[in-house]
Structures are given as C-alpha cells and as structure tokens.
Amino acid sequence: MARVALVTGGTRGIGRAIVERLKADGLLVAAGYSGNDEAAAECAKSLGVMVIKGNVGNFADCKAAVEKIEAELGPIDVLVNNAGITRDGVFHKMTSEQWSEVIRVNMDSLFNMTRQVIEGMRERGWGRIINISSINGQKGQIGQTNYSAAKAGVIGFTKALALENARKGVTVNCVAPGYIDTEMVQAVPPKVLEGIIAQIPAGRLGSGEEIADTVSFLAGERAAYVTGTTLSLNGGQYLVG
C-alpha cells in the first residue's frame, strides 16, 4: 500500500516541489496551505493531490486537517513540516506581532502538527518527520532574529524527538536550505539579495527540486538509519560570511 504524506505549506515554493517529488515517488500526498486559495486550486489541479486549508499555528486547525486527510487517504506516514513565513526587520525595531507570528507559524507548528501524527507512527512502528529549518537558523541573519530563533528551535526539536522515537521506527530529521529561488527569497530587497547571492560559493540560488530530492531520500526506506540530523543545502554559503 502506498504511504501517505502531508507537506505543510505544500502548494507553493519549496513545499510544492516536495509534494511533486513525493507524488512521483509513489506516495499519496496531501498539501497543506493557509491562505492562497488560487495557488492551492492550481496545485490540486496540476499535481492531482489533495489540498487542505488550515493554519499550522493553530492546534485545532491541525487536528481537523489530519483527521480529514486520514479519513480520505489513510494514516499519515510522512510529515514534512515545511510551512514558514518571514516578518523581517532589525530587532531594535521589531514589533511583538512580527516576533509572535513567526514563532507561531515556524515553530509552534511543529508541536501542533507533529503531535497529531506521532502516536500513530509509534504504534505502526514506521514514520518519517522531516522539518524544514534554514541556514539562517544555523548562522543567524541580520533582520531575522525571529526567524533565526524559530529555525534554530526546529533543529533542537528535531534532535529531542529523534531520541524519543529512534526505537519505534520513526526518524526525525531536518533539512536546512540556504537561499532557494522562491517567492519568499524574491521578496528580499533586490540590492540585499544581490549581495547575498554574490557571497554564495555556488554563485546561484538553490532550486526547490534540490531540496525535494533530499526530502525524498529522508522519506524513503533507505534512510531508516538517518535520524536526528540536519542536512544542509546551501551552495557552500554556511562556510563563508
């Protein structure tokens, strides 16, 4: 029987590339999204996957989404916690809303989503939790104290949960992308982005497909012995600057 995957933030950007790849791998895939109905409808139509609306920052929404997916597709075997937002600004000007929105969506979501599926995975003795962190959680970034804190939190969460579930056939890993060619990165002021790309040893932005390839590996049978780790895909950017 095909395994079932849920990718949060799965209708656009990196998430969409992951959805496409996992579907090509033969999984039954649901893509979560929070606001952009048009992108979701397009994703459902062109990829032929289930799309489900809800706010990953809200526990009740996550519970309802998982119940619906499990009723339609079956128990979730692979959860990709990908949904994320930025509210960039230097800390001495950051508002409490900018801080909390990012913590809620990028980090509280890990509890809200993973809590819905972890017991089932443990009972069935198989599961894959893949959390999307960021190079900026690993090395910090001016204008992103909120995002860097959340994405570093994702790594800590991953390690602790990996330890708790290693004997249950459930692996928990992080993928930490660098700057990937998505709407989120294209929203960085052009001059700033130019400077960032100039620093990347590979000399270019990454692609969603490159991230999706790594997620595909982690989601598969061959990655059974990989747990608690962070795979960094950043074109060498972590090594410089």
Smallest Cα–Cα separation from 140: which of 90, 193, 70, 192? Answer: 90
Provide the 10 A C-beta neighbour count for residue 22: 27
Q: Does 136 bind ligand CAA (CB under 6 A)?
A: yes
**Catalytic position from the list 33, 147, 225, 238:** 147
Region 37-56 residues binding ligand CAA, contact defined as CB under 6 A:
none
Residue listed under structure tokens 């800590």: 156
- Residues 83, 158, 96, 180: what is their CA dihedral angle, to the nearest 10 degrees? -40
C-alpha distance across the termini of the chain, in Å: 47
Q: Does 189 bind ligand CAA (CB under 6 A)?
A: yes
Q: Does 232 bind ligand CAA (CB under 6 A)?
A: no
Q: Does 167 bind ligand CAA (CB under 6 A)?
A: no
Q: Does 143 bind ligand CAA (CB under 6 A)?
A: yes
Residue placing its CB nearer to ligand CAA in the complex, 46 or 95: 95
Which residue in the set 78, 88, 127, 227 belongs to the binding site for ligand CAA (CB under 6 A)?
A: 88
Which residue in the set 160, 192, 202, 224 belongs to the binding site for ligand CAA (CB under 6 A)?
A: 192
Q: Where are the beta strands (DSSP E) in the chain?
A: 4-7, 28-33, 50-53, 78-81, 127-132, 170-177, 230-233
Residue placing its CB nearer to ligand CAA in the complex, 188 or 226: 188
Q: Does 179 bind ligand CAA (CB under 6 A)?
A: yes
DSSP state of 239: G
Could you tell me the CA-to-CA distances from 79 to 7, 126, 131, 196, 216 in Å, in that order? 6, 12, 8, 31, 12
Could you tell me the CA-to-CA distances from 67 to 39, 120, 231 in Å, in that order? 23, 12, 30
Residue placing its CB nearer to ligand CAA in the complex, 177 or 208: 177
Q: Does 235 bind ligand CAA (CB under 6 A)?
A: no
Q: Does 202 bind ligand CAA (CB under 6 A)?
A: no
Q: Is 147 a catalytic residue?
A: yes
Q: Does 36 bind ligand CAA (CB under 6 A)?
A: no
Options 9-17, 37-45, 111-119, 128-136: segment touching ligand CAA (CB under 6 A): 128-136
Site of interaction with ligand CAA (CB under 6 A): 86, 88-90, 93, 134-136, 141-144, 147, 177, 179, 184-185, 188-189, 192
